[in-house]
Amino acid sequence: MGLFAGLAERRSGRGQMKGVSSIFERVLLFVMGVVIFIACFAIFINYQVYFEKSGIEDQLDMVGNTVGSAVLKLAARGNATESSLAVEIPPRIGNSTYFVKLTNLGIEVTMASGGRTRSFQLYGLNESFSLGGERTLSSMGKLVVYKKGNRIIIV
């Protein structure tokens, strides 16, 4: 009798509704899982981009402050002396080389890829000294700051 009762339910349509309901629940559960996965993926990508950008900016600041300290040390030695300082800098920041340039406005550190630039002022040092130099590529891992009279350059 159990076999015939199941056939009767299927013919009346009640058994088909249970099957459709079960499939719908499984599809809905799968879709929710995919949505949660995509949301988690997007959140982690956003965090990665934020921390990468923050890390690069911090490293650019560190390079600018290190070069600025070397320029100020040479400036403190007076106009009569000729001297130089070798400054060690990281060869890469964020898997990219960068350029350091000294101008009368201050120090510029520019990423080779992406063009991200950070500027550092030397607050009135350009009134006493002539600041300049070429764009120096970071791939060597160091640069040299020269002072001759009242001229300071980086190479």
Question: For 138, which DSSP code?
Answer: G
pTM of the shown model: 0.73
Crossing angle of helices 2-12 and 14-75, rounded to 10°: 70
pLDDT tens figures, 70-79: 998 888 887 7
Half-sphere exposure of 70 (CA within 13 A, CB side): 25
pLDDT at 3: 47
Q: 88: which strand partners? A: 142
**d(C-alpha 93, C-alpha 43), whole Å:** 24
Looking at the predicted structure, is the pLDDT value of residue 15 above 70? no
pLDDT at 11: 52
pLDDT tens figures, 27-56: 999 999 999 999 999 999 999 999 999 999
What's the whole-number mean pLDDT along residues 82-89? 91
**Token couple for 23:** 């499939």
Q: What is the largest CA-CA distance in the chain?
A: 114
